[in-house]
Amino acid sequence: MIPMHYQKLLEMYEKVNIPILDVSVPEGYDVIDEYWIVPNFSLVQIRRNVKTLEKIYWILEPQIARNELEILSLIFDDLRKKIVLKEIGLSEEEKVKLVFLVLNEIIDEYGLKIKSELTMKMLYYLMRDFFGFGAIDPFLIDPNLEDISCDGYNIPIYVFHRKHGSMRTNISFNRDELDSLVLLLGQKSGKHVSYANPLVDATLPDGSRIQITYGMDVSTRGSSFTIRRFRSIPFTPIDLMSYGTFNSGLLAYYWLLIENRMNFMVIGETASGKTTTLNALLMFLPPEAKVVSIEDTREIQLHHENWIAQVTRTGVEGQEIDMYELLRAALRQRPDYIVVGEVRGREALTLFQAMSTGHASYSTFHAGDVNQLIYRLENPPLEVPRVMIQFLDSIIVQFMWTMRGVRKRRIKEIVEIVGLEPETKELLINRIFEWDPASDSYIQLADSKKIEKIATMQGVDVMDVIEELRRRREFLELMYRRNVRDYREVTRHIQMYYRNPERAFESLR
């Protein structure tokens, strides 16, 4: 979605409609993909070097001559001085209108007569630098980027593109530019960055995570930053089906587990999509259930009213509130479901104690397979007793599969923990699904013990639970065929199914 400050610019451009962007490609390069970030003003081209076959993420913006840049700098400085005192308490739309109003006043004061083409260029850069993040603003608007990384002075920025993977870009910064940008990023994140405090973890206004280093004391190549993008519109279970990460059978299985308050973890390596999967599966929560989520950085997004969303806080006068403290507080709030963004420290033992006392608990964990998960849980600093690990009902092992430049996020396997061997104290593992790379499909390896447990809990025959599993699978496939993708709509249909399954089916037919 194009930010508000650019929308006003586009309205003005429709009246002028003059080409202001040079989209020609130099010799030696092919364009393998391109799309607009801001229509008519900012274009992304994925270029490929014909000789080396290297892909480059290339941002094209209007070109400005040196004398035009001098005028723009003067106007920008005057604009900033006049607006700082006026913009307090205004909405973004009101601020945009104020900028255009004051800009016209400045142009009148200077007695400038500016051609329409230059006016559009000037307005674009004013909107980009005044409301956005300057030269990196196109990166932060591009919905196809997952990570943005700047490694130091005069080094190209690198991005991770959802379709094309990791690439260098045509944007880099000298020392003064990068130091100023890093200070701006810290300021917009509400954090203080300085030589005395050169390492900062923060959250940008859109929710994206950012890690900043300032100067050359701790980063010898100069100031740097890494931004992990936050998706403002969360993926739904239907999205996971369309991307092939899950099929309807796996989703229906976890829907039943969540309804019956069984515990699970999503594990995997970095960038495997753990949080995305967890967030999508949480859309299966019963509509009236009380949910408490605990995170370092706010990433969980639920369309759920009875939900307390908590985040950690760094030290203020010695009072740091970490995930352990939040989790202890959550247990006193009588939640039906506890969600921990990622387990890393002493909160692990408390989380498993919550599982053992009947609180349905869900989390992500950094581990490549089930053996790594158990080893890390049992050993310092987590030290969770094996007798408690058995309360973890199910484990999703997720990874990013890469072959010939194609990247897919897939569920490597789904494992159930069914108990503890009395004599050997070994955990009893039931591998029920695994991914087959040859057919890019999921194979069922065994019957689910948790389905049998649900049948026992409900006092019904196992076949009745299997029939309900089939119905929910059919319901999810129906949503997929009807292209129900908005997270609010998906959640609404799921909640309707809880209250009246027949009516929910009718609403999709």
Pick the closest to residue 174 from 151, 195, 152, 194 (CA basis).
152
What span, in angstroms and rounded, lies between the C-alpha atoms of 141 and 160? 14
Instruction: Say if residue 201 is in the same domain as residue 320.
Output: no
In a domain, 484, yes or no: no
Number of other residues whose CB lies within 10 A of the CB of residue 322? 17
pTM: 0.83
- Omega before 237 cis (within 30°)? no
Q: Is 282 helix (H, G, I), strand (E, B) or coil?
A: helix
Instruction: Say if residue 412 is in the same domain as residue 301.
Output: yes
What domain count does the chain have?
A: 2
Domain that holds residue 414: 237-450
Both tokens of 327, joined, read 């989790």
Q: Is 206 helix (H, G, I), strand (E, B) or coil?
A: coil
DSSP 8-class letter at 307: E
In a domain, 204, yes or no: yes
Instruction: Say if residue 217 is in the same domain as residue 272.
Output: no
What span, in angstroms and rounded, lies between the C-alpha atoms of 161 and 57? 9
Instruction: Say if residue 334 is in the same domain as residue 444.
Output: yes
Question: Where a domain ends, among 201, 228, 255?
Answer: 228
Instruction: Say if residue 264 is in the same domain as residue 360.
Output: yes
Question: Where a domain ends, among 176, 200, 228?
Answer: 228
In a domain, 463, yes or no: no
Query: In 62-205, which residue ranges form alpha helices assigned H by DSSP?
Result: 66-83, 92-110, 116-131, 137-141, 175-188
pLDDT of residue 350: 92
Instruction: Say if residue 23 is in the same domain as residue 74.
Output: yes
Q: Which residue shows structure tokens 């403290």?
A: 325
In a domain, 461, yes or no: no
Q: Which residue shows structure tokens 């994925």?
A: 46
Both tokens of 337, joined, read 């479901």
Q: Which residues are CB-neighbours of 203 under 8 A, at least 6 positions away?
A: 189, 209, 210, 297, 298
Instruction: Say if residue 260 is in the same domain as residue 221.
Output: no
Residue count of the chain: 509
Per-residue pLDDT of the chain (509 residues; tens, 9 = 90+): 788 888 888 888 888 888 888 888 999 999 999 999 999 999 999 999 999 999 999 999 998 888 888 888 888 888 877 776 555 567 777 778 888 888 888 888 877 777 778 888 888 988 898 888 999 999 999 999 989 999 999 999 999 998 888 899 999 999 999 999 999 999 988 888 999 899 988 888 887 889 999 999 888 999 999 998 877 788 999 999 999 999 999 999 999 999 999 999 999 998 899 999 999 999 999 999 999 999 987 788 899 999 999 988 765 555 778 899 999 999 999 999 999 999 988 899 999 999 998 899 999 999 999 999 999 999 999 999 999 999 999 999 999 887 766 778 999 999 999 999 988 889 999 999 999 999 999 999 999 999 999 999 999 999 999 999 999 999 999 999 999 999 999 999 999 999 999 999 999 98
Q: Which amino acid is at 343?
A: V
In a domain, 495, yes or no: no
pLDDT of residue 316: 54
Number of other residues whose CB lies within 10 A of the CB of residue 362? 26
Query: In 245-295, which residue ranges form alpha helices assigned H by DSSP?
Result: 248-259, 274-281
Please report, for the domain that includes residue 146, its CATH number: 3.30.450.380
In a domain, 21, yes or no: yes
The dihedrals phi and psi of 226, each to the nearest 5 degrees, come to -130, 125
Instruction: Say if residue 139 is in the same domain as residue 286.
Output: no
Instruction: Say if residue 298 is in the same domain as residue 439.
Output: yes
Instruction: Say if residue 98 is in the same domain as residue 61.
Output: yes
Please report, for the domain that includes residue 437, its CATH number: 3.40.50.300
Q: What is the DSSP string of 83-118?
A: HTTT-TT--HHHHHHHHHHHHHHHHHHHT----HHH
Question: Where a domain ends, among 401, 423, 450?
Answer: 450
Instruction: Say if residue 13 is in the same domain as residue 43.
Output: yes
pLDDT of residue 214: 95
In a domain, 59, yes or no: yes
In a domain, 416, yes or no: yes
Instruction: Say if residue 60 is in the same domain as residue 127.
Output: yes
